[in-house]
Amino acid sequence: SAALAPAAWADWAAAARAWDASQAALPDLAENLADFCADLAKKR
């Protein structure tokens, strides 16, 4: 499946760029997720 690899890589690269863009647009997303997980852990 070597022929499929370039297409899969292109899809992965596009996803990575989209992720980077989303992180730039929502820089506090990771912090919010961390806070959410911490709150969830406290409630258990």
- If one counts every other C-beta atom within 10 angstroms of the C-beta of residue 31, the result is 10
State the residue for tokens 């863009």: 21
The pLDDT of residue 36 is 86
The pLDDT of residue 41 is 92
Q: How far, in whole angstroms, is CA 2 from its chain's centroid?
A: 26
State the residue for tokens 């989209």: 18
The pLDDT of residue 30 is 76
Rounded-to-5 percentages of helix, strand, coil across the chain: 80, 0, 20
> In a structure prediction context, what are the per-residue pLDDT tens digits for the chain, which is 44 residues long?
556 677 788 888 888 898 888 777 676 777 888 888 889 899 87
Q: Taking the domains of the chain in order of start, what are their residue ranges?
A: 5-43
